[in-house]
Amino acid sequence: MKTLGPFSKHDQRQSSARHKRHGLAAAWIIGLTGIILPNTHAAAAEAPAEPDKPWSITLEAGMLNDDSVSIDALDNRSGQADQARVFNLGAAYSLFRQSALPIKVSYGFSKTSYQDLKAFNLQSHTAFLSTRKKLSAFDAGFLYGFSHTELSGNPFLNFHTVSPTLGHGLTTNWYVLGGYNYQNKTFHTAKSRNAQVNGLSFDNFFFFDETRSYIKAGYRFELENAAGSEFDFAGHYLDVSLKSTLSASPGAATIRFGYQYYLRDYTNETPSISREREDQRHTVKAEISVPVHEHAQVNVAYKYVKAHSNLSTSDFDENVVNVSLALKF
């Protein structure tokens, strides 16, 4: 029988889990900024680095169909369907990998170009600097991020993100991650929406299939203080998701399912409706990624949103289908 040398199967599972956890904090923080950023950036952050390679590059191109095109950050909804070309680029480089305080530098570019609704075209540049450190039984992490987004070719939104995290493995397969997130949002024209956001989050990760898969269940609380008082709100977010690689073979498909519920309770009157606004939203996501080559995979994703609001532009149903080809190096 082949032996495992100085490490038992239990040790190998623990080592694999640690590699997964190191990426979870960065992916979790980047996910908080998902109002603008594509999933490519979070996926790149979560992927464990190869031992002999400090860098990673991801290119993704595809098409999406959206039956209710909108800009959520402005509560601007077209009420129309359209198709768009999507292109994402993600790049990361790890510094001081063998030191007690490794640093990862990341850059992301994203562009969505609609066929007809050109006013909704988005383009974003993002940069992140993250680090992590082992503190006894805890994993401490820190991330700073900056993003510049253009809408229809014009400056739209800048934001800065600062987020420390703290994680701990309660068992070999159960990992908890908590953190604080601060964002400073500056709109180029919609100045009343400029805001400072403070949030706290707590997530549970349950690993299985020798850490190839996990279930995440979490809660986030958020306070947004905007220049225009009608945009101040307290937000509560609940989410459950599953990520699973179907086998240990190199060509195995990966599936993702997710559900999120959020409640935003606005604290001041919205002039257009002469009352305080309240939003509730249910979001369901499903995605499958199938490798077609050592460095290539096909992604098919679906998202459904059911939004309830006493503000008419934020009360809607939406279906989005996305098909893309991703190259990873």
pLDDT computed for residue 20 by the predictor: 55
Element (H, E) at 243: strand 233-245
Q: Facing residues of 243 across strands?
A: 214, 256
Q: Does 108 map to a domain? A: yes
- Which pLDDT belongs to residue 100? 85
The answer to the question of residue 295 being in a domain is no
Decide if 139 is inside a domain.
Answer: yes
Tokens of residue 109, six digits: 């570019």
Q: Which residues, other chains included, contact 237 with Cβ-Cβ below 8 Å and sequence gap of 6+? A: 219, 220, 221, 222, 260, 261, 262
Range of the structural domain that residue 58 is part of? 9-245
Query: Which residues partner with 251 through β-bridges?
Result: none
118 is a domain residue: yes
Please check whether residue 282 lies inside any domain of the structure: no
Q: In terms of C-beta density within 10 A (0-12 exposed, 13-18 middle, 19 or more buried), how is residue 291 classed?
A: middle
Check residue 249 and give its pLDDT. 86
Confidence at residue 222, expressed as pLDDT on a 0 to 100 scale: 97
Q: Is residue 137 part of a domain?
A: yes
Euclidean distance between CA atoms 117 and 22, whole angstroms: 40
Q: 297 to each of 97, 254, 327, how far by Cα in Å?
A: 28, 10, 7
pLDDT in tens, 121-162: 999 999 999 999 999 999 999 999 999 999 999 999 999 999
Q: Is residue 230 part of a domain?
A: yes
Whether 67 is covered by a domain: the verdict is: yes
Indicate the number of domains in the chain: 1
CA–CA dist 218, 181 (Å, integer): 15
Residue 16, H or E segment: helix 9-32
CATH number of the domain to which 109 belongs: 2.40.160
How far is Cα 227 from Cα 141, in angstroms, rounded to an integer?
A: 30
Structure tokens at 133: 């450190």
- Alpha-carbon Rg for the chain in angstroms: 20
| pLDDT tens track, the chain, 329 positions | 333 333 344 444 444 455 555 555 555 544 544 434 444 444 444 444 456 789 999 999 999 999 999 999 999 999 999 999 999 999 999 999 888 899 999 999 999 999 999 999 999 999 999 999 999 999 999 999 999 999 999 999 999 999 999 999 999 999 999 999 999 999 999 999 999 999 999 999 999 988 889 999 999 999 999 999 999 999 999 999 999 999 888 889 999 999 999 999 999 999 999 999 999 999 999 999 999 999 999 999 999 999 999 999 999 999 999 999 999 99
Distance CA 219, CA 260 (A): 10
